[in-house]
């Protein structure tokens, strides 16, 4: 999976959870929470979908690393390669 | 038409899920009704056989109107359904409990209006998020023609906007604040030309469009009225909260408790689990609230007919924010009797249905107390307002790290501020304080919950 594909996949997952993620141009560096209205249930659903679709284990301790789009891409890329 | 909240005056019957002759059991879903809080699955409160459907789909009727007649078990068959409009058909059993005393019982004839012509053949149940319905109405898209990609096949906003062959299929570029303003002004962004970056619509564009719409008088028709207007839910909230502040003498209490044991418990449980089986700390708050109510039962129940009606069951209304559309607090049933995994599964389902549609009528009418949790936005306390006819509401602020006295020293701990608003007609600050103390104490031993 290329980085672009990964990004698109993450955006699709986010869009299914918070529709406004598809309408706004997300700043990849800024925390997702500051840009779209997601709560702890939404974030759990996001992590669950990423885990199911990409098969990457995501311990709860690593949640902060998925707080922005770039953060998630950087976190997931090496795990997908390995 | 059942009353699905103290603030509800009327509802629109969207579809029937039963037909005459069907056998129904208490709790079956018999109809879908659209209210200010979205489309609700209406459950029947009695068992029997459907005799006649009185109201046609598409009709808006006041609360208390007879929607259908059901012959109870053992009840003699009524006259074959007579089509003449009778104020109360013989043997009539409304499909829902009578409205609470506060709701006026209207002597409306049961058959109010001629049925609107059926639209597009037989109606298929369409599950869609409120935002999707609104957008589809604005774009003139029939939801029945779309395939949903959301949970449970629900149609999402994105599905609507991706609908093929609709002129403005692509969502116009605009910031959330511009979209909000457009909602307020009642302007369809699809008809606005953007002058901002990449053709984005700016507030100035909106103001121009609004001014243009006013001066250029008879121009086409205004955007078709959405199934429920953007501010309908705000009006519903306003009505309920105004009544609460007018009628309920609130008292308020707050306490900050060490939340470290609770969070460590959740973290240790979750460490061994895949994400789909992980818990949120909200389930601890729910369970501890239910157990603490056993010690102070006068916070659990309803104020009706000028007196307190305690409830033995604890059905906690969980306040769920509905992205840009307000708030709803449907019931999680029998919280005291369920384990944490069950509560988590039910909470997930409840939140999802609150947002995508598909709440059941009992979930709107059953809450015996409400829990409002701010989540993790960093705000430390909330002093919520009681939802009538309930008599208490529990608030939970964000979890924050604070210096905390442990033994004789200071430590950094994650703490949470718990609040209670109680109805002074039923309880007082002393009893309320016992409840909050019990809640804080129960949260120190999460493994026992």
pLDDT tens by residue, B307-331:
999 999 999 999 998 877 788 999 9
Shared domain for B239 and B135, answered yes or no, is no
Contact between residue B178 and residue B203 where contact means Cβ atoms under 8 Å apart: yes
- Of the three residues B169, B185, B215, the one that is the final residue of a domain is B215
The predicted-structure confidence for A27-82, as pLDDT tens digits, reads as follows 999 999 888 888 999 999 999 999 999 999 999 999 999 999 999 999 999 998 86
pLDDT of residue B201: 76
pLDDT of residue B360: 94
> By mean pLDDT, which of B74-78, B188-192, B229-233, B308-312 is the weakest?
B74-78
- How much is the mean pLDDT over chain B? 80
B131: closest chain A residue by CA: A19
Contact between residue B365 and residue B2 where contact means Cβ atoms under 8 Å apart: yes
pLDDT of residue B84: 43
d(Cα B363, Cα A56) in Å, to the nearest integer?
Answer: 36
pLDDT of residue B46: 85
pLDDT of residue B64: 87
Q: What's the token pair of residue B263?
A: 């969070």
Q: Is A20 on the interface with B (CB under 8 A)?
A: yes
d(Cα B288, Cα B109) in Å, to the nearest integer?
Answer: 47
Residue B421 has pLDDT above 80, yes or no: yes
- What is the average pLDDT across B281-302? 98
CATH number at residue B237: 3.30.559.10
Q: Residue B412 burial by CB count (10 A; 0-12/13-18/19+): exposed, middle or buried?
A: exposed
d(Cα B122, Cα B138) in Å, to the nearest integer?
Answer: 23
> By mean pLDDT, which of A50-59, B130-139, B400-409, B416-425 is the weakest?
B130-139
- Which candidate from B129, B271, B276 shows the least CB-CB separation from A48? B276
Q: Do A37 and B323 touch (CB under 8 A)?
A: yes
Q: What is the DSSP letter of B263?
A: H
- Of the three residues B125, B154, B177, the one that is the final residue of a domain is B125
Shared domain for B121 and B138, answered yes or no, is no
With a CB cutoff of 8 Å and minimum separation 6, the contacts of B84 are none
Shared domain for B398 and B325, answered yes or no, is yes
Closest listed residue to residue B69, CA positions, set B85, B88, B56:
B88
Q: How confident is the model at residue B146 (pLDDT cuts 50, 70, 90)?
A: confident
Residue B4 has pLDDT above 60, yes or no: yes
pLDDT of residue B390: 97
- What is the average pLDDT across B420-449? 97
Residue B177 has pLDDT above 70, yes or no: no
Shared domain for B162 and B207, answered yes or no, is yes
B347: closest chain A residue by CA: A41
Residue B228, domain member (yes or no): no
Shared domain for B92 and B199, answered yes or no, is no
Residue B53, domain member (yes or no): yes
Residue B17, domain member (yes or no): yes
Q: What's the CATH fold of domain A3-81?
A: 1.10.1200
Shared domain for B301 and B334, answered yes or no, is yes
- What is the average pLDDT across B233-237? 85
pLDDT of residue B160: 76
Shared domain for B430 and B320, answered yes or no, is yes
B129: closest chain A residue by CA: A19
Strand B38-43 to strand B359-360: parallel, antiparallel, or no bridges (unpaired)? parallel
CA distances from residue B239 to B243, B392, B445 in whole angstroms, order as listed? 6, 18, 40
- What is the average pLDDT across B64-77? 81
Residue B171 has pLDDT above 70, yes or no: no
Shared domain for B252 and B157, answered yes or no, is no
Contact between residue B70 and residue B24 where contact means Cβ atoms under 8 Å apart: yes
pLDDT of residue B130: 66
Q: How confident is the model at residue B141 (pLDDT cuts 50, 70, 90)?
A: confident
Contact between residue B152 and residue B355 where contact means Cβ atoms under 8 Å apart: no
Q: Do A19 and B171 touch (CB under 8 A)?
A: no
- What is the average pLDDT across B91-106? 42
Chain A interface, mutation test: which of B275, B328, B347, most A Cβ atoms within 10 Å? B275
Shared domain for B155 and B199, answered yes or no, is yes
Q: Do A15 and B150 touch (CB under 8 A)?
A: no
Residue B224, domain member (yes or no): no
Residue B227, domain member (yes or no): no
- What is the average pLDDT across B69-76? 79
Contact between residue B54 and residue B111 where contact means Cβ atoms under 8 Å apart: yes
Residue B90 has pLDDT above 90, yes or no: no
Residue B222 has pLDDT above 50, yes or no: no
CATH number at residue B194: 4.10.320.10
Kindly list the residues from chain B whose CB atom is less than 8 angstroms away from the CB atom of residue A20.
176, 323-324
Dihedral sign (CA B79, B82, B86, B88): positive
pLDDT of residue A60: 94
- What is the average pLDDT across B149-159? 72
Shared domain for B248 and B118, answered yes or no, is no
| ipTM (interface predicted TM) | 0.93
* Domain residue extents for chain A: 3-81
> By mean pLDDT, which of B60-69, B153-162, B190-199, B383-392 is the weakest?
B190-199
pLDDT of residue B161: 72
Query: What is the DSSP track for B406-436?
Result: ETTEEEEEEEEEEEEEEETTT--HHHHHHHH
Shared domain for B192 and B243, answered yes or no, is no
pLDDT of residue B322: 85
SS3 at position B1: coil
Residue B431 has pLDDT above 70, yes or no: yes
What percent of chain B has a predicted confidence (pLDDT) above 90?
50
Contact between residue A66 and residue A72 where contact means Cβ atoms under 8 Å apart: yes
pLDDT of residue B100: 42
Q: Is A58 on the interface with B (CB under 8 A)?
A: yes
Collect contacts of B376-385 with beta carbons under 8 A, ≥24 apart: B376/A39, B376/A40, B377/A33, B380/B417, B381/B254, B381/B417, B381/B419, B382/B419, B383/B252, B383/B254, B383/B419, B383/B421, B384/B319, B384/B419, B384/B421, B385/B241, B385/B244, B385/B245, B385/B250, B385/B421
> By mean pLDDT, which of B223-227, B356-360, B363-367 is the weakest?
B223-227
SS3 at position B177: helix
Shared domain for B143 and B5, answered yes or no, is no
Residue B69 lies in domain? 1-125
- Of the three residues B99, B125, B151, the one that is the final residue of a domain is B125
Q: How confident is the model at residue B229 (pLDDT cuts 50, 70, 90)?
A: low
Q: Phi and psi at residue B72, in whole multiples of 5°?
A: -70, 160
- What is the average pLDDT across B119-134? 59
């Amino acid at each position: 999976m290329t980085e672009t594909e990964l990004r698109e996949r993450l955006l699709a997952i986010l869009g299914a959870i918070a529709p406004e993620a598809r309408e706004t141009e997300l700043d990849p560096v800024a925390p997702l929470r500051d840009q779209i209205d997601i709560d702890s249930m939404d974030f759990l659903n996001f992590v669950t979908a990423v885990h199911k679709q990409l098969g990457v284990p995501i311990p709860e301790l690593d949640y902060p690393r998925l707080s922005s789009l770039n953060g998630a891409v950087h976190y997931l890329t090496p795990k997908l390669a390995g | 038409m059942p009353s699905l909240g103290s603030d509800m005056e009327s509802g629109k019957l969207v579809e029937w899920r039963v037909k005459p002759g069907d056998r129904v059991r208490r709790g079956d879903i018999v109809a879908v009704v659209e209210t200010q809080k979205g489309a609700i699955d209406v459950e029947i409160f009695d068992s029997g056989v459907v005799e006649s459907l009185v109201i046609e789909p598409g009709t808006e009727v006041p609360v208390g109107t007879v929607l259908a007649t059901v012959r109870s078990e053992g009840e003699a068959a009524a006259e074959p359904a007579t089509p003449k409009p009778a104020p109360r058909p013989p043997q009539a059993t409304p499909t829902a409990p009578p409205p609470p005393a506060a709701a006026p019982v209207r002597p409306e004839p049961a058959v109010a209006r001629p049925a609107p012509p059926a639209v597009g053949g037989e109606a298929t149940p369409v599950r869609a998020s409120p935002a999707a319905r609104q957008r589809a109405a604005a774009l003139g898209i029939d939801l029945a023609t779309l395939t949903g990609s959301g949970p449970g096949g629900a149609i999402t906003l994105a599905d609507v906007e991706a609908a093929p062959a609709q002129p403005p299929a692509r969502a116009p570029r605009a910031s959330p604040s511009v979209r909000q303003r457009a909602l307020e002004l009642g302007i369809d962004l699809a008809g606005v030309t953007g002058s901002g970056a990449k053709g984005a619509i700016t507030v100035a564009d909106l103001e121009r469009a609004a001014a243009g719409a006013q001066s250029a008088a008879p121009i086409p028709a205004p955007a078709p009225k959405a199934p429920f207007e953007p501010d309908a839910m705000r009006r519903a909230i306003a009505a309920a909260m105004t009544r609460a502040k007018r009628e309920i003498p609130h008292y308020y209490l707050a306490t900050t408790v060490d939340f470290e044991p609770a969070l460590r418990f959740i973290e240790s449980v979750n460490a061994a689990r895949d994400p789909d089986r992980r818990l949120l700390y909200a389930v601890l708050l729910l369970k501890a609230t239910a157990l603490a109510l056993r010690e102070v039962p006068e916070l659990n129940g309803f104020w009706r007919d000028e007196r307190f009606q305690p409830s033995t069951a604890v059905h906690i209304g969980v306040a769920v924010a509905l992205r840009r559309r307000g708030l709803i607090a449907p019931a999680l049933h029998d919280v005291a009797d369920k384990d944490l995994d069950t509560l988590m599964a039910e909470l997930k389902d409840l939140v999802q249905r609150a947002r995508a549609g598909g709440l059941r009528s009992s979930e709107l009418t059953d809450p015996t107390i409400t829990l409002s949790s701010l989540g993790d936005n960093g705000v430390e306390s909330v002093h919520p307002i009681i939802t009538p006819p309930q008599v208490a509401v529990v608030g939970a602020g964000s979890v924050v790290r604070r210096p905390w006295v442990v033994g004789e020293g200071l430590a950094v701990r994650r703490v949470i501020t718990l609040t209670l608003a109680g109805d002074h007609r039923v309880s007082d600050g002393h009893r309320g304080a016992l409840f909050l103390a019990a809640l804080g104490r129960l949260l120190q031993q999460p493994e026992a919950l």
